[in-house]
Chains A and B, each alone.
Chain A
Amino acid sequence: MSDLEVQIDGVPVVPARGWRFEIVDPARGIGRLVNGLASMPVIVEGGASDWVVTIRGRRISVTVRSWRERMLAGAETAAAARAGPVAVRATLPGLILSVAASVGDAVEDGATLLTIEAMKMQNDVRAPRSGRVIEVSVHPGQTVATGAPLIRLE
């Protein structure tokens, strides 16, 4: 039991002292955090080691892993780092408004690669990691579907 470790964004987090979680509606994951007379509603979703907790309207991804699961996850991360080029795909269907990256550019992790307009909104597509642009598959004015390859990074 007590070998469970909680992490948020890869950083270990110590649970809040004095607070207790009570489930109210298990089917919907609705519960509350209680500390003496104070309480606040929360929502929890997920299972196994991956959970999403909504507090004060904010969804927070939390991993809860045993020692064994931590070892397995570490091995997977190492394997992913050795993998080759990465394809950046559209997560929304929409219209390509502009493309900031060109073939040959070195981009930093999080750099804006292009902008898609979907649902009246402009959404920046960012680099998932730093690398060199080896292919640009779209141009401004083009409509793309979800999952369409946009850019490849090496």
Chain B
Amino acid sequence: MPPFARLLIANRGEIAIRVIRACRELGISPISVHSDADVDALHVQMADSSERIGPPSPRDSYLSIEAIIDAARRSGADAIHPGYGFLSESPDFARAVEAAGLVFIGPPPETLESLGNKLAARRGAQAAGVPIVPGTTVALGDDSHELAGIGFPLMLKASAGGGGRGMRRVDSPGALADALVAARREALAAFGDGTVYAERLLAPVRHIEVQLLGDRHGRLAVLGERDCSIQRRHQKLVEESPSPAVNPGTRAALFESARRVAASVDFHNAATVEFLLDADNNHYFLEMNTRLQVEHGVTELVTGLDLVAWQIRIAAGEPLADAVLNLAGRGHAIEVRLYAEDPYDDFRPSAGRITAWRMPAGPGVRVDAGVSADTDLRTEYDPLLAKLMVYADDRPSAMDRLRRALDETLIGGVQTDAGFLRWLVDDASFVGGSYDTGLIGERWGTDHELDSELGALAATVALAARTMAETGRVRAPGSNRAGSAWGEVARREALRR
């Protein structure tokens, strides 16, 4: 007997597809939603049916509580999975879902409310006896003396932010007053709440998170850690489990802290407690998220669990199985995120139509993709294209597998970070496991002049391509493809003859 008959997925892209797959295996009919920009999207094609929720702008579609509740009513869904991002951490959404008589695949609204306030979450963790990043635990006033004991550099953070958003680095006391004004203004503009607090900027540090599953019967499973230290703009790009930096003693301490934070929070769902880990193996609570993480697949590979299926079962009231509670991971998993971003220009987002799309496969390789060839990438949405995950018995084998998988990866039409990721798997600090959150800034850097060897190779290709196009040796089938004038040249040339 499936836990639900019909489940609506209030998201798009790869995570909507991930939830669709879990629904299929559980015997649940998956229903997707789409904005006008996503009528032909992959997640719409894969669901049993799809409901239109509005124009392309996320505010009027994927972030519209009203439109999504309407869609759920129209489609006869009995539960809603929010995925990650969009409305997944909105207490108002969780409340509206419950008010509509539907099941929200996530924690109670009150929990989302209290954890969404990062300052309150810091106080909660501290009260639970868990170390927090040194800094303030109340909102900053205008008096900068409050920060005297913290030391510089420090980070100003928006209390309504989180997930790496709404942060500003301050290097000296002299820069503080201006930074405080700017941070408040930014927080107010971005989150509608100008409350900020300060944390000491710890460096070098690693970013480690602990995966949890909690059910409605008070049972908690601690499912290992993930190392998420490879970041740009405080956003994760690469995750692995187990962390090469975490020894058994540190792991036990991290798990104990994660349990304490979880015990102080009323939740039933997948959740993650995030920590910073310094060079002396001290850990500090950063935040807790009671939703599915982008990088959940890494934990799935080392545990063999389907975390999304468990989210759904837990929401339906099923208790966690004993086998899940005592699960120890085995082997090693690494995930790299393929983004439409330009690593040679500070990881700026790119857009356009994907003209070529070849994803790796074979032993130990998993690809969760939200796009394919001919997908139009729009700047309104997250530039995540796919998550490439590998699994092997140990870290060196996983690294070899990842290098092989990246060599099979080919994406045309938009600039992606694939070249950066390929560089990373040969980087001594990553391969050696000694990296920290500064890796991209310090080792990849910002100077990416095209080297002359690569330029000469590109010249060879372009010259040959033009010559081939003009002599008609290349004639693209369906050659009027937008985004590729390649076939058009051949056709024009053919007409001229």
Contacts and interface: CB of A to CB of B under 8 A. Distances in A.
Interface stretch (A1-9, A77-85, A130-138): A1-9
Contacts of B108: none
B416 A15 contact: no
A63 B461 CA distance: 11
A47 B485 contact: yes
A152 B12 CA distance: 37
Interface residues of A, number: 60
A141 B188 contact: yes
A107 interface: no
A43 B356 CA distance: 8
B177 interface: no
Interface string A42-54: 1111111111011
B486 A45 contact: yes
A121 B182 contact: no
A150 to B, nearest CB: 15
Interface in A106-154: 117-124, 140-141, 146
Contacts of A16: 453, 456-457, 459-460
A1 B467 CA distance: 8
B329 interface: no
A14 interface: yes
B140 interface: no
A16 to B, nearest CB: 4
Contacts of B414: 59
Given A6-B463, A123-B348, A46 B186 contact: no
Q: Is the interface of A mostly helix, strand, loop or mixed?
A: strand
B486 A29 contact: yes
A53 B461 contact: yes
A50 B486 CA distance: 10
Contacts of A88: none
Contact of A15 (B163, B459, B489): B459
B487 interface: yes
14 contacts: A4-B467, A13-B456, A13-B459, A16-B459, A27-B477, A27-B478, A29-B484, A44-B461, A53-B457, A58-B454, A63-B462, A98-B182, A120-B165, A122-B233
Interface of B: 57, 163-165, 182, 185-186, 188-190, 233, 235, 344, 346-349, 351, 355-356, 358, 373, 379-383, 410-422, 450, 452-469, 474-479, 481, 483-489
The 10 closest A-B pairs by CB, nearest first: A57-B419, A47-B485, A21-B464, A141-B189, A16-B456, A43-B412, A62-B462, A57-B418, A47-B489, A51-B462
Given A62-B459, A95-B189, A123-B349, 15 more contacts: A6-B462, A8-B458, A13-B455, A29-B465, A46-B462, A47-B484, A49-B466, A56-B419, A58-B454, A63-B462, A64-B462, A93-B57, A121-B348, A141-B185, A146-B379
